[in-house]
Structure 1
Amino acid sequence: MGKLGQIAGTVTLAATVVLGGSPTAAVAAEAAAGAAGRAGRTAAGAGLPGLVAFVRDGDVFVSKGPGEQRLTSGGGHARPRWSPDGRRLAVLKRGQVWVMRADGTGQRRLTTRPAGGPSWSPDGGWIAFASLSCTGGPGVYRISATAENARPEVLFPRDCRGAELPEETTAGPVTGSLRERLQYDNAVAWSPDGARVAFRGGDCESVYDACLSIGTVATGEERTVAAFGGGGSQNRGFAAVPSWRPDGARLSWTAYQEGETATENRPVHLVEYDTATGTERTVGGTLDRELAYVDAGRAVVTSRNNKGSWLTVLSLADGSRTLLRSGSQPSVQPLPH
């Protein structure tokens, strides 16, 4: 119960996390690159099939190629996520889930309780988000993306289904190092087939110090896919910010590990997990994070460049990389069906 109490104190704080390096450093790095250098770096973005939504200095932008459009102002925004039809975005605004059109208009708040990074159901009718559960630890809810004054419904833990919703609290900003901010980031990811949700924590936290779960929506059953500390594991670390490949065959997450020996230590990095075989591999480089799939062969990730956070197109086959622009927390607009 001590562990759950600790998590209960952090789940509301993690809702408004704005990740990345110092915004001042990122802007300075971009300026130092020069206009010609920026044009060359961003030109490769024209090869992406749709827009990339991302965060810079606490606001949401969209980009394709060398141009970009700012969708929000005033800061406090995090974790933009495209709807399955690519016409809307869900985003955290000061710890609440909001939705808006792809051009930033029609902004509307959905939740009144602190929330972790949202994710759309494949039919676009629901949005899943993380928030405090009836157990005192992090839980996963869904809420209608279209209904007025919709009430959240519990997805996980299963035992909280039908229970009274916890009292609403106020989320505050998260501070600390990149690792500390990522550790309690509660972004969730709804699978492309609609059957599962990946999320940080879950029933596995009764055994491990930190873990990542895949929950089955219909039954409420949970499966642990990454675990750190406790349960016989002698390591420390975390797995957070999950992302499904469009075909559902792979799940990625951002990880960190401290092993029994220095040779087993792993700074922030990306893991790709085969959902059929359970095998996993490291993709990208050191300090890469927040992978958003473009297709089976490419992804947009947040990387470090000139002491700032940059969006980078990563080849998942050979590891080749193309810098796009300064920013973090990418979400790739789905291809039209």
Structure 2
Amino acid sequence: MGKLGQMAGSVTLAAAVGLSGSQALPALARATPGDPAPAAGTGRPAAPVEAGLPDPVAFVRDGDVYVSKGATEQRLTTGGGHARPRWSPDGRQIAVLNRGQVWVMKADGSGQRRLSTRPAGGPSWSPDGKWIAFASLSCTGGPGVYRISATAGGAKPEVLFPRDCRGEKLPEETTAGPATGSLRERLQYDNAVAWSPDGIRVAFRGGDCESTYDACLSIGTVATGEEQTVAAYGGGGTQNRGFAVVPSWRPDGVKLSWTAYEEGETAAGNKPVHLVEYDTATGAERTVGSALDRELSYADSGHAVVTSRNNGGSWLTVLRLSDGTRTLLRSGSQPSVRPRPH
């Protein structure tokens, strides 16, 4: 598949908008239908909790956005087609993909407005709340990263990466259908991006490293456009295949996590979908969570919410990063933990 096809196939994880009230739910909510059954031996059993995290979590179930706090949840959208909700730094707004385009809404689901008609990968707020970064087709034909004002009406996207596309005419807008296939196939070209807590860098799938590798993940410096490759698969002397997608920064910026998949030179080197945590100072990596865990969102330096497998469906799971202790939260996927005030 060419890079244009890869980009088009990845921009719609997503879909439409509405509002409903809060409702109390039992701790064991229903599982999301249509997901494949989990593989055997994918981790310890997780115990359900009544209260959950102290911080609200935005997530997706059946294509709509919900916010969960303790034993209650509020549905923010209707109609399906939504993906990758992300809280604003002050916790008052949520950016989301709506049928593959970037929208924002208030934390209660009201005031929904579209920021751009350009097909997009998962958005991320700048730490000052002024900008939203998202992935979309670049002037090179592969995925690029743009930013757009989160407040100005009629704002136009600006290119962040690749650096050589800055100042070039924006590519024509394309349309894309929803991502289909297995979990691995749906994740492979997910273009969610992550703006670092200090505002200096953005992590994203692809980048200049795609001229050397078959798949890669980069950290780009906003001011200069320079890129650093932090994960790479196939080509460039590497004898593996795989991908690294859906990056997430720890609130202190010291660690970066992503969802990965790897096929090694031999079967012994194969790793199904899993989570990697990367130390940005030393470059050290470690696997966190269990097999088929994905889409990590940090709550603090010691805890995160991930999407896991349970009873044949996707579930939000609280993960203690120090020892892997797991606690089921509720059915759903694509978690985003609301930032804590500084």
Percent of residue pairs identical:
79
The counterpart of 1:78, out of the listed 77, 80, 83, is 83
| 1:226 matches 2:231 | yes
* Corresponding residue number in structure 1 for 2:65: 60
Q: Quick check: 1:251 aligned with 2:256?
A: yes
Write out aligned runs for 1:286-301 (5 A): 286-301=291-306
Corresponding residue for residue 48 of structure 2 = 41
In the alignment, structure 1 residue 157 sits paired with structure 2 residue 162: yes
State the secondary structure of the residue aligned to 1:255: strand
Matched, 1:16 2:12: yes
Q: Is the 8 A contact 1:210 1:229 kept in 2?
A: yes
Specify the code of the residue in structure 1 equivalent to 2:244.
A
Kept in 1, the 8 Å contact 2:60–2:334? The answer is yes
3-state SS of the aligned residue for 2:55? coil
The correspondence of residues 1-337 of structure 1 with structure 2, limited to 5 A, is 6-17=2-13, 23-24=32-33, 41-45=48-52, 48-337=53-342
Contact 1:269/1:282 (8 A) holds in 2: yes
Shift of 1:25: 5.2
- Distance of 2:95 and 2:176 partners within structure 1: 18
Q: Distance in 1 between matches of 2:48 and 2:265?
A: 40
CA–CA distance in structure 1, aligned partners of residues 275 and 51 of structure 2 = 22
Task: Output one character per residue of 1:158-178: Cα deviation in whole Å (capped at 9) or x when no partner.
Answer: 000000000011121110100
Unpaired segments of 5 or more residues in structure 1?
Answer: 27-39
Q: Deviations over 1:130-183 (max 9, x none)?
A: 000000000000000000000000000000000000001112111010000100
Mapped to 2, the partners of 1:133 and 1:334 lie a distance apart of 30
Residues 101-120 of structure 1 deviation map (CA, whole Å, 9 limit, x = unaligned): 00000000001110000000
1:185 CA displacement: 0.1
Q: Residues of 1 paired with 2:32 and 2:298: CA distance?
A: 24
The 2-side partners of 1:194 and 1:154 are apart by: 16
Using the TM superposition, give the Cα deviation of residue 12 of structure 1 relative to its aligned residue in structure 2, in angstroms: 2.2
TM superposition shift of 1:10: 2.0
The two structures have a TM-score, normalised by structure 2, of: 0.91
Specify the code of the residue in structure 2 equivalent to 1:302: T
SS in 1 for 2:290: coil
Give the deviation of 1:44 after TM superposition: 3.9
Q: Which one-letter code corresponds to 2:33 in the other structure?
A: T
Q: Deviations over 1:197-249 (max 9, x none)?
A: 00000000000000000000000000000000000000000000000000000
Amino acid at match of 2:163: R
Per-residue Cα deviation, 1:270-327 (whole angstroms, up to 9, x for no partner) = 0000000000000000000000000000000000000100000000001000000000
Letter in 2 for 1:242: P
**Aligned partners of 2:54 and 2:70 also within 8 Å:** no
| Closer/same/farther in 2, CA of residues 205 and 25 from structure 1, 3 Å limit | closer
TM-score normalised according to structure 1 size:
0.92
Asked whether the equivalents of residues 141 and 152 of structure 1 are also in contact (C-alpha less than 8 Å), the reply is: yes
- 1:6 CA displacement: 1.0
In 2, are the aligned partners of 1:12 and 1:115 still within 8 Å (CA)?
Answer: no
Q: Contact 1:94–1:171 (CA<8 Å) still a contact in 2? A: no
* Number of residue pairs the alignment of both structures matches: 318
CA-to-aligned-CA distance 1:12-61 (integer Å, 9 cap, x gap): 2211115xxx83257xxxxxxxxxxxxx824141xx23210000000000
SS, match of residue 330 in structure 1 = strand
Determine the C-alpha separation between the residues in 2 that align with 1:246 and 1:102: 20
CA contact (8 A) 2:220 2:227 kept: yes
Query: Considering only aligned residues, what root-mean-square deviation do their CA atoms show, in Å?
Result: 1.6
| Structure 1 letter corresponding to 2:48 | R
Cα distance between partner residues in 1 of 2:33 and 2:238: 39
- Distance in 2 between the 1:275 and 1:117 partners? 22
Q: Secondary structure at the match of 1:43?
A: coil
Distance 1:159 1:327 in 2: 39
Partner residue in 2 for 1:31 = none
C-alpha separation in 2, matches of 1:205 and 1:97: 25
8 Å CA contact 1:196–1:217 kept in 2: the answer is: yes
